[in-house]
Amino acid sequence: MGANVLVFAERREGSLKRPALEALSAARSAADILGGSVVVLALGSGAAAHAEELGKHGADRLLTAEAPWLDMYVPEAYAATLAAAAGDVDAGLVLVPATSMGKDMAPRVAAALKTGMLSDVTDLEASADGTLRCTRPVFSGKANAIVAIPAARPAVASLRPNVFPVKETGGGAAETGSVEPALAEDKVRVRAVRLEKPAEAELDVAEASVIVSGGRGIKGAENFKLIRELAEPLGAAVGASRAVVDAGWIAHSHQVGQTGKVVSPNLYIACGISGAIQHLAGMSSSKVIVAINKDPEAPIFKIADYGIVGDLFEVVPKLAEAVRNLNS
């Protein structure tokens, strides 16, 4: 029997997050090569209800721990339970989405298993001999490194969101089973008390397929309305460079870059962003990049697929109008 692949299915407020399905599709491809099964672990109330959706995307088995105290992220308990599940299912590979939660949890799991880990992976290739080879950005996105975990098992990898496609296999509902949390509730040292969200919920740039970002070229917080007017008809998230976040023009949750969020959308539109290396590190893996800047020498144009040299105060409203006309 080949090596099984274990996937952590991230859930928020009872719903599966898209990066979990992306990791599941990658797991299915790897398991087919390794000759094993795909096992998914989901935690919190109602987790078993995802059996059909997960099975449709390639899961063979779904393990759940439906304790209500696991409804919100509990770092110690989540990591311990995933590490225990890896041993129980004889996993050769453990995949975790490289979301905020996953980036915190995956190293804990690797440490608990005393094994190797590859982080922020953008391509994954498993060999029949069990070797895991991955591609990940290095040097602030200036280059890609191909790295391998040849022997340590189970190997652990976190997968960058919006890079791996979601695939449907046409399978039926995953077989379900329950597990006990590997850490008792009274042994947990850190707990989330509540989740606070902005009054107007906005798309998270880390998971959006389209992002429209603003930089210092927008000249003030009040001009972010131009960015939002383009983002709205595109169904896009609103992003920002570090400079405008530091200036207090928009919340840090919108920041894209080395000290913000790393994104890989299908379309990234940079408005008034010069393209400092710290910003490029956070968005250079976008599938299509459009840059709007009045400086023809701006570094952003070096990586852009399409560039518009012009005043964003003239270009962005015209783009927004054109998109609205197309939508209508």
- Over the stretch 36-86, which tens digit does the pLDDT of each residue have? 999 999 999 999 999 999 999 999 999 999 999 999 999 999 999 999 999
With vertex at residue 225, the alpha carbon angle to CA 224 and CA 229, rounded to the nearest 5 degrees, is 120
Is 258 annotated as ligand-binding? yes
Convert the pLDDT of each residue in 167-191 to its tens digit: 888 778 899 999 999 999 999 998 8
**Would you state the pLDDT for residue 324?**
94
In the predicted model, is pLDDT for residue 220 greater than 70?
Answer: yes
Beta bridge partners of 12: 15
Tell me the residue type at 158: S
Q: DSSP letter at 145?
A: E
Q: What is the CATH number of domain 4-187?
A: 3.40.50.620
Q: Is 277 annotated as a binding residue?
A: yes
Contact between 6 and 91 under an 8 Å Cβ cutoff? The reply is: yes
Is 307 labelled as part of a ligand binding site? no
- Judge whether 275 is annotated as a binding position: yes
293 annotated to bind ligand? yes
Give the CA angle between residues 157, 18, 278 to the nearest 5°.
Answer: 65
pTM (two decimals): 0.81
The mean of the pLDDT values for the chain is: 91
Distance between CA atoms of residues 57 and 75, nearest Å: 26
To the question of whether residue 178 is assigned a binding role by annotation, the answer is: no
Q: DSSP state, 102?
A: H
pLDDT score at 151: 82
| Ligand-binding site membership of 259 (annotated) | yes
| Structure confidence at residue 199 (pLDDT) | 64
Contact indicator for 247, 273 with CB cutoff of 8 Å = no
Would you kindly state where each structural domain of the chain is located, as residue ranges? 4-187, 210-327
The C-alpha atoms of residue 234 and residue 255 are separated, in whole angstroms, by 19
312 phi, psi to nearest 5 deg: -60, -25
Distance of alpha carbon 316 from alpha carbon 320, whole angstroms:
6
Is residue 250's pLDDT more than 90? yes
Q: Write the DSSP symbol of residue 101.
A: H
Q: Determine the pLDDT at residue 152.
A: 84
Q: What pLDDT, in 10s, does the model give residues 91-143?
A: 999 999 999 899 999 999 999 999 989 999 999 988 877 778 899 988 877 78
Does the annotation list 250 as a binding residue?
no
192 is in an annotated binding site: no
From 163, 164, 170, 3, select the one nearest 89 (Cα to Cα).
3
Which H helix or E strand runs over 86? Answer: helix 75-88
Is 216 marked as a binding-site residue?
yes
pLDDT (0 to 100) of residue 1: 47
* pLDDT tens, position by position, 256-311: 998 888 888 999 999 999 998 889 988 988 999 999 999 999 999 999 999 999 99
**CATH assignment of 210-327?**
3.40.50.1220
Is residue 274 a known part of a binding site? yes
251-256 mean pLDDT: 92
Does 242 appear as a known binding residue? Answer: yes
The three-class DSSP label of residue 97 is strand
CB neighbours of 83 closer than 8 A, spacing ≥ 6? 108, 109, 112, 113, 182
